[in-house]
């Protein structure tokens, strides 16, 4: 299997904190790979590290290999927007508020292709058509458009230079459910047409199950489970994945009960980070960090056996 | 747009009416009688009564005000007590000098303030940032008359690099006289290709303009730094970076563009301060403009002159703020003209 992006043993430290502690993942060409986990587990930072957009003061080590080149520590400006693009979480704030949508497309297109302003506008109109938006959106300012329209614009912008990898960082989180569905369908459809790989960062397991080929479950800066979307999400082996799935609200469940995982993400210095919140915790879990075996990092996968 | 302008014109007229009423009342409340100032220190009671009758000072206040108002509107701003010339004419001959000084100073202030503010924001926390902060605090807190004297001591007395005072050197009007078109010497000299006079006028305006620019430059630099730091951390700036735009474009074309509206607002506010600043600067640099005229008028209790300059200042301030609001709406599409 060929590899488009491979992240190997990525560690990110910010000050004294180490929010990402050795994440390894792989995205094949044209593959949709989910990176799931709750807030604070390091999924967004992992995505930003690929583009070299970590916040000031953050330090990354390990390897980020794209198309055979190790990117970490390199200037990645030339590949941003051209080979790898990102669709952000909040479409409402992700666009420059004082520039028209068209102006923002032109800026990006001209930075990468050096084409004329007129050609860039024509290309921008074409891109908007591909995300089912009318040309007049080009002359609109971001505050005049809805979140769904803006996210379509974002996707169109992401595709402007035919990237090989699109990182979708919680791309549907800020949208309401029906709009989120439309955006997902659009992303899938465009992915089939253009064949780019997708790193789909989300906390929404239902979405991950629907569109991903494979998923990585992150907890406290480590991959705790990986595998095909159906294997992981239909037959979870790590207790964290099970708990996450259990926390999904279900229409067929008895009324009045909503499950959650007690506590919040903590980084253990010793042993398994999930130990404090795990229902099947044993003594071994508190002293020894479980290594990944068969795609699951747990001493006792599959629950109390 | 038209509705906005009409409404603004109406409110501006009200503001000006208020200013005129205030200056009018002030002139009537102050114990020194204008008639005494008019005649001189040795005035006899009979003369004072006669002049008061001539100037209409024996009429009831509201009639005096009505007369004052209609005179002002018809272009009769009274005669200066000091020079015995019509105030409007006095203002007309001095306005270009002040305008030239103000325009040059404000252009310098905005350019320097923006550049320093952007650099400070980009280098937040470094020595350069601290140095710029020190400079801008200095610019804001240093009194204009003192800064002007300081600059004169350094650049004129000690280094001998620049001419001391005035708008031109003593020989220039004879050697290469300026043909007055706009009354702004630097502009006129450039337009007529008179490079000798341009050089002279340019050297003369450097120090007074720098003195006048210090305060607004400091304010603009501080405001730019603060808003730039905020905009540089916004989501859309991260988007721009994520799409491969050069850091230069991100800083100057996107972040600075987004930081401009608040900077424009504070700059508009400092303009009023700078208008008063010209009083000191023109006196210190012997600059033959309105400020110097007003300063003399104040010392001579020259009411018509004081009132004329005050009303003119108010008109200028109202106009500037109208322009600032229009620019604001241009700069930020989310701001409506209402």
B236 and A86 within 8 Å at the Cβ level: the answer is: no
Q: What is the pTM of this model?
A: 0.84
| Angle in degrees, CA B265, B268, B274, rounded to 5 | 145
DSSP assignment of B129-185, as one string? HHHHHHHHHHHHHS-HHHHHHHHIIIIIIIS--S--SSSS-SSHHHHSPPPPSSS-H
Instruction: Say whether pLDDT at A219 is over 70.
Output: yes
Query: What pLDDT score does A303 carry?
Result: 59
Cα B319 to the center of its chain, rounded Å = 12
- Residues of chain B found within 8 Å of residue A108, distances taken between Cβ atoms: 243-245
How far does the CA of residue A108 sit from the closest CA of chain B (Å)? Answer: 6
Segment A165-169 mean pLDDT? 93
User: Per-residue b/e over B206-242, b at no fewer than 16 CB within 10 Å?
Assistant: bbbbbbbbbbbbbbbbbbbbbbbbebbebbbbbbbbb
Residues of A with CB under 8 A from a CB of B: 51, 53, 77-82, 85-86, 88, 90, 93-99, 107-108, 111-112, 141, 143, 157
DSSP 8-class letter at A143: G
Q: Give me the sign of the Cα torsion angle B220, B223, B229, B231.
A: negative
Over residues B142-147, mean pLDDT: 87
Contact residues on chain A for B333, CB-CB shorter than 8 A: 97-98, 141, 143
Predicted ipTM of the assembly? 0.87
Residue A304's pLDDT is: 46
Cross-chain Cβ contact A97/B249 below 8 Å: no
Q: Does B242 touch chain A (CB under 8 A)?
A: yes
Q: Can you tell me the mean pLDDT for A87-93? A: 91
pLDDT value for A261: 81
**What is the model's pLDDT at position A1?**
62
Of B242, B258, B334, the CB nearest to A80: B242
A118: buried, middle or exposed (CB in 10 Å: 19+, 13-18, 0-12)? Answer: exposed
Least reliable range by pLDDT among A143-147, A160-164, B25-29, B144-148: B25-29
Chain A contact for B245 (CB, 8 A cutoff) = yes
Q: Does B126 lie at the interface with A, CB-CB under 8 angstroms? A: no
pLDDT level of residue B31 (50, 70, 90 thresholds) = low
Chain A CB contacts of B258 below 8 Å: 96-98
**CB-based contacts of A78: which residues, under 8 Å, 6+ apart?**
B244
Q: Is the pLDDT of residue B168 over 90?
A: no
Main-chain phi, psi angles of B5, to 5 degrees: -65, -40
- Residue A174 with chain B: CB contacts under 8 Å: none
């Amino acid at each position: 299997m060929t590899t488009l992006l491979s992240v190997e043993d990525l560690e990110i430290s910010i000050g004294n904190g180490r929010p990402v502690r050795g994440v390894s993942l792989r995205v094949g060409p044209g593959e949709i790979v989910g990176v799931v986990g709750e807030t604070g587990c390091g999924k967004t930072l992992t995505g930003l590290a690929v583009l070299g957009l970590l916040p000031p003061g953050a330090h990354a080590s390990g390897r980020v290999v794209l198309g055979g080149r190790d990117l970490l520590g390199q200037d990645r400006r030339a590949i941003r927007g051209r080979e790898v693009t990102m669709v952000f979480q909040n479409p409402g704030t992700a666009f420059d508020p004082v520039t028209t949508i068209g102006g923002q497309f032109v800026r990006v297109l001209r930075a990468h292709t050096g084409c004329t302003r007129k050609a860039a506008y024509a290309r921008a109109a074409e891109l908007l058509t591909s995300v089912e938006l009318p040309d007049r959106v080009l002359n609109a300012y971001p505050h005049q458009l809805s979140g769904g329209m803006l996210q379509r614009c974002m996707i169109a912008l992401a595709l402007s230079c035919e990237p090989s990898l699109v990182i979708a960082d919680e791309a549907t989180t800020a949208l309401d459910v029906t709009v989120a569905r439309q955006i997902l369908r659009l992303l899938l459809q465009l992915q089939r047409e253009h064949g780019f790989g997708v790193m789909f960062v989300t906390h929404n397991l239902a979405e991950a199950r629907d569109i991903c080929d494979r998923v990585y479950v992150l907890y406290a800066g480590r991959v705790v489970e990986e595998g095909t979307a159906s294997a992981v999400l239909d037959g979870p082996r790590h207790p964290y994945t099970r708990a996450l799935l259990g926390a999904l609200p279900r229409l067929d469940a008895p009324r009045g009960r909503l499950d959650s995982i007690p506590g919040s993400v903590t980084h253990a210095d010793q042993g398994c980070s999930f130990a404090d919140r795990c229902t099947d915790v044993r003594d071994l879990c508190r002293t020894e960090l479980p290594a990944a075996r068969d795609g699951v990092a747990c001493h006792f996968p599959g629950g109390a056996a | 747009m038209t509705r906005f302008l009409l409404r603004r014109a109406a409110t501006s007229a009200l503001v000006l009416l208020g200013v005129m009423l205030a200056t009018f009342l002030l002139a009537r409340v102050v114990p020194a009688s204008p008639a005494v100032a008019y005649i001189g220190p040795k005035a006899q009671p009979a003369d004072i009564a006669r002049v008061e009758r001539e100037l209409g000072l024996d009429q009831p206040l509201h009639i005096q005000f009505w007369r004052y108002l209609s005179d002002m509107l018809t272009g009769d701003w009274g005669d200066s007590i000091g020079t015995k010339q019509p105030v409007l004419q006095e203002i007309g001959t001095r306005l270009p000098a002040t305008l030239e000084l103000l325009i040059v100073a404000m252009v310098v202030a905005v350019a320097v303030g923006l550049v320093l503010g952007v650099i400070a924001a980009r280098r937040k926390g470094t020595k350069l940032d601290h140095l710029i902060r020190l400079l801008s605090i200095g610019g804001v807190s240093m009194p204009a008359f003192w800064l002007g004297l300081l600059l004169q001591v350094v650049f004129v007395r000690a280094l001998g690099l620049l001419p001391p005072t005035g708008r031109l050197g003593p020989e220039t009007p004879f050697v290469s006289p300026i043909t007055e078109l706009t009354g702004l010497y630097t502009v006129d000299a450039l337009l007529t290709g008179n490079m000798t006079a341009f050089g002279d006028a340019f050297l003369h305006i450097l120090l007074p303009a720098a003195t006048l620019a210090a305060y607004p430059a400091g304010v603009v630099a501080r405001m730019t730094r603060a808003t730039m730091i905020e905009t540089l951390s916004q989501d859309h700036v991260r988007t721009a970076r994520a799409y491969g735009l050069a850091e230069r474009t991100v800083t100057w074309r996107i972040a600075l563009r987004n930081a401009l509206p608040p900077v424009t607002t504070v700059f508009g506010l400092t303009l009023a301060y700078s208008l008063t600043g010209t009083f000191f600067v023109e006196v210190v640099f012997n600059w033959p403009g309105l400020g110097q005229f007003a300063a003399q008028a104040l010392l001579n209790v020259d009411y018509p002159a004081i009132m004329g300059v005050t009303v003119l200042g108010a008109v200028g301030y109202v106009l500037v703020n109208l322009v600032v609001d229009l620019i604001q709406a241009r700069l930020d599409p989310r701001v409506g003209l209402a």
